[in-house]
Amino acid sequence: MPSGYDGRVLQTLDMHGAGVGDRVAIDSDIRYTGTIMPRYHHSDDSHIVLKLDSGYNVGVSILGITGIRILERRPAPPPSTPPPEPRGDLPDILLVSTGGTIASRIDYRTGAVTPALDAAQLGESMPELYGMANIRPLQLLSEYSENITPEHWLEMAHTIHEEHSKYAGIILAHGTDTMHYTAAYLSFALAGCDTPIVLTGSQRSSDRASSDAALNLAGAVSAIIQGIPRGVYIAMHHTQSDDTISIHHGTRARKSHASARGAFRTINGEPAYMVSGGVLERHSHKDYWNGIAYSPAISVDRRAALVKYHPGYDTALLDHMSECRAVILEGTGLGHVGREAYHTIQSMVRRGIFVGMTTQCIEGSVRMTVYESGRDLLDIGVVPLRMVPETALVKAMWAASRDTDIHDAMVSDMASEMA
Amino acid sequence: MPSGYDGRVLQTLDMHGAGVGDRVAIDSDIRYTGTIMPRYHHSDDSHIVLKLDSGYNVGVSILGITGIRILERRPAPPPSTPPPEPRGDLPDILLVSTGGTIASRIDYRTGAVTPALDAAQLGESMPELYGMANIRPLQLLSEYSENITPEHWLEMAHTIHEEHSKYAGIILAHGTDTMHYTAAYLSFALAGCDTPIVLTGSQRSSDRASSDAALNLAGAVSAIIQGIPRGVYIAMHHTQSDDTISIHHGTRARKSHASARGAFRTINGEPAYMVSGGVLERHSHKDYWNGIAYSPAISVDRRAALVKYHPGYDTALLDHMSECRAVILEGTGLGHVGREAYHTIQSMVRRGIFVGMTTQCIEGSVRMTVYESGRDLLDIGVVPLRMVPETALVKAMWAASRDTDIHDAMVSDMASEMA
C-alpha cells in the first residue's frame, strides 16, 4: 500500500520497523497512541499522521520523537468467507454497496483513503444479519457519496430494476453526504416498485467503537423483514442514541448534521417508521407512490440547476443557465427573491425554462400568495414547489429527461415529496 | 389607493358600494367574510380577492355573487400622535424601521401591498413600550427584506454609526427573510460598537390576532434596558408560544422556518440570551467581539458568491464567477464537493479567488481532514470555514471590500461567528 511518506519521515518509520496500519505508541513531548495513517498530500514532510483512539488524526513531528513502539501489527485482511447457505425460512435481501463510510472499515484500519469494504465484507462484518435474512451482497460502486453523479443514479436504478423481483427488499449501502439526493432519484425513476428500497449508511466507520453502521444496517433489515410497504426509505440513527433507527421517506429527508449519528431528519414531519428495540413502528407513513403502478423511467438530464438566492446575488449568473431546462430557486422565506432578479427570471421563463421556487428556510413551505414579492413572482411565471430544494432539483433532472411536460411533473405529488 | 380592479369586477364592487379595505360579507355558493384586497397582477379579471379572518386570501368569482354587505368601512388611517415626552428616568432607545412584516399593519388592514407602517406608527401601535423606555422612531427604509441589498446594509450601518452613542441600544425593525444576512453584515462593519444592536421582526403582521410583532419588539426593548452587553442580536419568538423571546447571536442564526413564529434558530448552540416573562436570562453568551475596540469599517463588495453543491452540479457555472473575489461553497457533509469540480476550483484558486468551504448540513461544521475528498480540497487550496454559509458569504463581501487579506479575515473569529 502506498504510504505517501518519503525522506526523513520514511527513514524514521523504517528505523523503528513501523509502517502504515500499525498501532503504535510514539514517545515525543507526550506519548501518542494510535494507528499510523498514510501521509496527507497537503501535510508537510516532517510529520507522522496518527489516528488516535478518539478517531481523529494528529501529525506528530519526527523531530521530537524519542521512540516508537509497535503495539499491534497492521492486521492481515480477513479471509473472505462465503456467506452462509441461504435458509428456506428466511427472506432474501439484496445488499448493494456503493461505497461511503459504511463501507470503509478496512479503509480506516489499514489507512487506505478510499472506500474499500465490498458488499460481501460488509455482510461478513455483521454476522448477526445472517440470522435475520439471506443477504446477497452485490458490489456496484466504491465511491464516497460526494462523488456520486446522476449517471451513478442510473446504474443504481438499473440494478434495482433488474434484481428487485427476486427479493423481499433491497438495501443500498451509500455514503451519507448525498444519500437523500439518490433516494429522491430512485423515488421518481422507480416509481411504484413493489420491492421496498432502503438506503443506509453510517456517520462513523465500522472500525470505530462508536460506529452506527451495524445498527443502521440492522434497522434496514428489520424494516424489510417486518414488512415495510413499498417505497424508498433512508434508515439512519434517530438521535445519538443506539435505541432507535428512523426510517425516513426518501423524498423528504435531509442530511441535517455534518457529523452526528442522528444526521438525517424528515423535513416538515415525522419519519415514516421507526425501528425501536428491533420492532418496526409506523409513524407518518402513507402509501409512498399513492397507487402508482410500477413503470420504471430510468433517465436523467443534468440540465437543471439549484440556485440559493441571497442579498447581492449576481443575477448575471442566471444568464449563464440558458442551457438549462429547469432552474430551482432556493428563495427566502415563503418563496421570495429580490426584485433585482425579476427581469432575468422573467426572460428565463420566456425562453421556456421551467423556474420553480423552494425555500432556504429549513422547515415550512413556499406560499407565494401572501406577500407582494411572491405574487409578483407568480405573475412572472415562477412555480411554487412544496418540497425540499434537493428533491425539487432531482425531480427536475428526472422530469427534464422524460417526454412529459416538466411543469406538470413538478406540480403533481408522485413520491410523497409534498409534505 | 390603486385597487388593481377594472372591468366587470370593478362594476360589481361599485354596484355594491364596496371597495378595497372594506370588511364585507359576500354571498355566493357560500358566504365569505373578510377584507377586500387589491387584485393580484396575475389573477384573472373575474374575481374579488378577499382576505379571510384566518389571514389567507381567496378569490371569489363575481359570476356567482348574489350580494355584498358592508360590515365595516375601511378604517381611516390612525391620526399620527407625537410620541410622549421623554422621561429622564427611562433609557433612550432608537427604533430604526426598515420595513418587513413587522411594519405592515396598515398594509394588511387596508390592502396595500408594500410595507406602510413607519417607525413612529410602529412605536404608537405598541404604547406599552413607551412605559419601558424613551423610544425614538427613525424611518430609514420601507422594504420587505427579500429586497434588502448590500447597499441597504451600508445605509443601516452608517445610520447606526452616527446615532449609536446617544442611545442605550438600537433596535432595527426588519423583515425576517434576510434578517440574518443583515445582522451578520452589521457584526463585521460595526465590530466593537459599544451600543447593543438588536434586530427584530415578525412572522405575522401586526393586525393579526396571532401577531408576534409586539412581543418581539418588547423582547428587544427588555434586552436593552436590562443591560445586554454589546453585540448584534436577533430577537424573535423562541417557539410558537408567547412566553419566551430568543436573543440570538447575529452571526449564528438562520431563518429556519418559512412561516412559524419561532422561525429563527441559533445553529450549533443555544441562543445567547432569552427573555422569559420579561426577564433577560443569559444562555450561551460570550463577549461578542472578543475585546475588539470599536472601529467602524462600513463598506461592501458584491463580488462574492455562494454556491450550493449538488450531484450533477454544472462546474461551468464556476467559470462564470471569474470576476469574484471570493466564492463560498456550501458543500456536502464535512465540507466536500465531487471530484468533477476539482479542476475548476483549482483554477479559481490559482487565479487568486478565495474559495471557502461551508456545509449544507444544517448543524455541525466542516472538518476537511477526515475524508480523502476534504484532504484533496485542502490540497487544492480550499479554506474550511467554521460558520454558517450565509455568514461566510456576508463576511466575504465585507472582507473583499477592505484592504486586509481576505483569507486572514475569513479564518479569524471576529464576531462570534465560529461556533
Top-confidence residue, B242 or A279: A279
Measured from the Cβ of residue B235, the count of other Cβ atoms closer than 10 Å reads 29
Residue A372: predicted pLDDT: 85
Q: Could you tell me whether strands B92-97 and A253-255 are parallel, antiparallel, or unpaired per DSSP bridges?
A: unpaired
> What is the distance between the alpha carbons of residues A281 and A223, in angstroms, rounded to a whole number?
9
**Residue B323 predicted with pLDDT over 90:** yes
Q: Which of B40, B43, B3 is nearest to B19 (CA)?
A: B3
Report residue B2 CA to chain centroid gap.
28
Q: Which of B31, B41, B58 is closest to B6 using CA atoms?
A: B41
Q: Which residue of A has its CA nearest to B175?
A: A333
Q: How would DSSP label each residue in B13-60?
A: HHHTT--TT-EEEEESSSEEEEEEEPPPTTS-TTEEEEEETTS-EEEE
Amino acid found at B149: T
Q: Per mean pLDDT, which of A384-393, B99-108, B212-221 is the most reliable? A: A384-393
Contacts of A339 in chain B (CB under 8 A): 147
Cell 472506500, residue located: A115
**Structure-block grid coordinates of residue A407:** 411543469
> Which residues in chain B are contacts of A316 at CB distance < 8 A?
320
- Which residue has 472582507 as its cell numbers? B399
Give the mean model confidence (pLDDT) for residues B145-172: 97
pLDDT at B356: 98
Task: Name the pLDDT band for B276 (thresholds 50, 70, 90).
Answer: very high
At residue A24, the 3 state secondary structure works out as strand
Distance CA A236, CA A234 (A): 6
B18, part of any domain: yes
Closest CA to A45 of A19, A12, A20, A17: A12
Q: Name the β-bridge partners of B191.
A: none
Instruction: Show which of residues 344-373 on chain A sit within 8 Å of chain B, judged by CB atoms.
Output: 359-367, 369-373
Residues 6 or more apart whose Cβ sits within 8 Å of residue A374? A334, A335, A336, A366, A367, A368, A384
What share of chain A in percent tops pLDDT 70? 91
Q: Among A242, A218, A246, which residue's Cα sits nearest to residue A233?
A: A246
Whether the CA torsion B282, B284, B290, B292 is positive or negative: it is negative
Nearest Cα neighbor of B401 from B150, B219, B79 is: B150
A219 and A138 housed in the same domain: yes
User: Residue B356 is which amino acid?
Assistant: G
- Tell me the C-alpha distance between A184 and A172, whole Å: 13
The answer on B278 and B143 residing in a single domain is yes
CA distance A174 to A75: 26
- Judge whether B223 and B196 are in contact, CB under 8 Å: yes
Q: Is A87 inside any structural domain?
A: no
User: Would the pLDDT of B1 be above 70?
Assistant: no
| Containing structural domain, residue A365 | 304-411
Mean pLDDT, range A338-362, rounded to an integer: 97
- Chain centroid to Cα B323, Å, comes to 28
Which of A220, A249, A282 finishes a domain? A282
Binning pLDDT at 50, 70 and 90, where does residue B79 land? Answer: low
Binning pLDDT at 50, 70 and 90, where does residue A54 land?
confident
Q: Does residue B263 share a domain with residue B325?
A: no
Instruction: Give the helix, strand, coil percentages of chain A, each rounded to 5.
Output: 30, 25, 50
B281 pLDDT more than 50: yes
Confidence of residue B112 (pLDDT cuts 50, 70, 90): very low
Distance CA B105, CA B116 (A): 7
Please report, for the domain that includes residue B47, its CATH number: 2.30.30.520
Residue A47 pLDDT class (50, 70, 90 cuts): confident
In DSSP terms, A198 is beta-bridged to A171, A233
Could you tell me whether strands A383-384 and B23-27 are parallel, antiparallel, or unpaired per DSSP bridges?
A: unpaired
CB contact under 8 A, A364 and B306: no
Q: What are phi and psi of B191, to 5 degrees?
A: -50, 130
Does A148 share its domain with A250? yes
| Look-up of cell digits 396571532 | B210
Where residue B109 sits, what CATH number does that domain have? 3.40.50.1170
User: What distance in Å separates the CA atoms of residue B203 and residue B101, rounded to the nearest whole number?
Assistant: 7
Tell whether B267 and B394 lie within a shared domain: no
**CB pair distance less than 8 Å for B317 and A316:** no
Could you tell me the pLDDT band of residue A147, with boundaries at 50, 70 and 90? very high
Which residues of B are the active-site residues?
A: 101, 176-177, 255
What is the dihedral sign for C-alpha A123, A125, A129, A131?
positive
**A363, B256: Cβ pair inside 8 Å?**
yes
Q: A323 and A271 share a domain?
A: no
- pLDDT for A185-214, tens place per residue? 999 999 999 999 999 999 877 666 677 888
Q: How confident is the model at residue A129 (pLDDT cuts 50, 70, 90)?
A: confident
How would residue A104 be classed by pLDDT, with cut points 50, 70 and 90? low
CA-closest candidate to residue B353, choices B407, B392, B301: B407
- Give the residue from A201, A143, A194, A193 showing the smallest Cα distance to A172: A201
Q: Each residue of A265-323: pLDDT tens digit?
A: 999 999 999 999 999 999 988 889 999 999 999 999 999 999 999 999 999 999 999 99
Contact B16, B68 (CB under 8 A): yes
3-state secondary structure of B80: coil
Q: Do B367 and A40 touch (CB under 8 A)?
A: no
Judge whether A68 and A110 are in contact, CB under 8 Å.
Answer: no
Give whichever of A2-6, A73-77, A237-241 has the largest mean pLDDT: A237-241
Selection from A229, A214, A69, A27 nearest residue A135 by Cα: A214
Among B146, B94, B148, B150, which residue's Cα sits nearest to residue B122?
B94
Test A362 with B362 for CB contact under 8 angstroms: yes
Domain-embedded: residue A390 = yes
Q: Do A235 and A366 fall into the same domain?
A: no
- DSSP 3-state assignment of A254? strand
pLDDT for A352 equals 96
Surface-to-core class of residue A36, CB atoms within 10 Å of its CB (0-12 exposed, 13-18 middle, 19+ buried): buried
Mean pLDDT of B391-419: 96
Distance CA B280, CA B227 (A): 9
Which of B150, B362, B376 is closest, CB to CB, to A311?
B150
Pick the more confident residue, A127 or B136. B136
Residue B9: CB atoms within 10 Å:
22
Residue A5 has pLDDT above 50, yes or no: yes
C-alpha cell at A148: 456520486
Q: Give the distance, in angstroms, between the CA of residue B20 and the centroid of all CA atoms in the same chain.
A: 29
pLDDT of B80 higher than 80: no
Q: Give the best residue of B239, B318, B325, B371 to mutate against chain A (max A CB count within 10 A).
A: B371
pLDDT of res. B145: 95
Same domain? For B217 and B267 the reply is yes
pLDDT for the residue A1:
38
**The pLDDT of residue B244:** 94
From chain A, pick out residues whose CB is under 8 angstroms from the CB of B101: 371
Determine the longest span between alpha carbons in chain B, in angstroms. Answer: 74
CA separation for the pair B269, A107 (Å, rounded):
33
How sure is the predictor about B113, in pLDDT bands with cuts at 50, 70 and 90?
A: very low
The answer to whether A393 contacts chain B (CB < 8 Å) is yes
Whether residues A208 and A125 share a domain: the answer is yes
Q: Cβ distance A115 to A202 under 8 Å?
A: no
Q: Please check whether residues A209 and A357 belong to one and the same domain.
A: no
**Residue B296 counted as domain residue:** no
Burial of residue B333 (number of CB atoms within 10 Å: 0-12, 13-18, 19+): buried
Residues A28-43 have pLDDT tens digits of 988 999 988 876 554 5
B363 DSSP assignment? B
Any domain includes B291: no
Q: Please give the tally of structural domains in chain A.
A: 3
- If asked whether residues A322 and A215 sit together in one domain, one would say no
Q: How far apart are CA A60 and CA A36, in angstroms?
A: 10
Q: Which of B113, B259, B339 is facing A364, going by the closest CB pair? A: B259
- With a CB cutoff of 8 Å and minimum separation 6, the contacts of B24 are B18, B33, B34, B35, B36, B50, B68, B69, B70, B71
Picking from B108, B245, B330, the residue whose alpha carbon sits closest to that of residue A308 is B330
Q: What confidence score (pLDDT) does residue A79 get?
A: 59
Task: Share the mean pLDDT of chain A.
Answer: 89
In a domain, A416, yes or no: no
Q: Is A145 on the interface with B (CB under 8 A)?
A: yes
Contact (Cβ atoms closer than 8 angstroms) between residue B179 and residue B145: yes
Cα–Cα dist A356/A417, whole Å: 15
What angle do helix axes B372-380 and B342-350 make, rounded to 10 degrees?
A: 30
- CB of A333 within 8 Å of a chain B CB? The answer is yes
Query: Mean pLDDT across the stretch A69-83?
Result: 74
Q: Which residues pair with B217 in a beta bridge?
A: none
**Domain final position from A17, A38, A72:** A72
Is the pLDDT confidence value at B36 over 80?
A: yes
Residues 169-228 of A with CB under 8 A from B: 175-178, 181-182
By C-alpha distance, which of B204, B194, B148 is closest to B170? B194
Q: Which helix (H) or strand (E) holds A366?
A: none
**Length of chain A, please?**
419
**Distance between CA atoms of residues B104 and B91, nearest Å:** 27
Give how far A46 is from chain B: nearest CA, Å: 17
Q: Any idea what the CATH number is for the domain that residue B343 is in?
A: 3.40.50.40
Return the amino acid letter for A201. Answer: G
Q: Which is nearest to A392 in space by CA: A367, A368, A366, A372?
A: A366
In sequence order, what DSSP letters do the residues of B289-343 get, joined into one string?
Answer: TTTPPP---------EEEEE--TT--THHHHTTTT-SEEEEEEBTTTB--GGGHH
> What is the per-residue pLDDT across B378-388, written as a single tens digit (0 to 9) for each?
999 999 999 99
Residue B42 has pLDDT above 70, yes or no: no
Kindly report which listed range (A150-164, A247-261, B81-95, B394-408) carries the lowest average pLDDT score.
B81-95
Boundary of a domain, candidates B282, B313, B338: B282
Q: What is the CA radius of gyration of chain B?
A: 24
Decide if A296 is inside a domain.
no
Examine residue A80 and state whether it is found in any structural domain, yes or no. no
Q: Same domain, yes or no, for B212 and B276?
A: yes
SS3 content of chain B, % helix, strand, coil (to 5): 30, 25, 50
Instruction: Quote the pLDDT of residue A77.
Output: 59
How far away is chain B from the Cα of A78, in angstroms, using its nearest Cα?
A: 23
DSSP β-bridge partners for residue A236: A246
Is the pLDDT reported for residue B108 higher than 50? no
Is it the case that residue B115 has pLDDT exceeding 70?
Answer: no
Supply A325's cell numbers.
431546462
Cα–Cα distances (Å) from B119 to B197, B198, B222, in that order, read 16, 15, 18
Which residues neighbour B13 within 8 Å (Cβ) at sequence distance 6 or greater? Answer: B3, B5, B19, B36, B48, B68
- The pLDDT mean for chain B works out to 89
Which pLDDT band holds residue A26 (cuts at 50, 70, 90)? very high
The answer on pLDDT for A80 being more than 90 is no
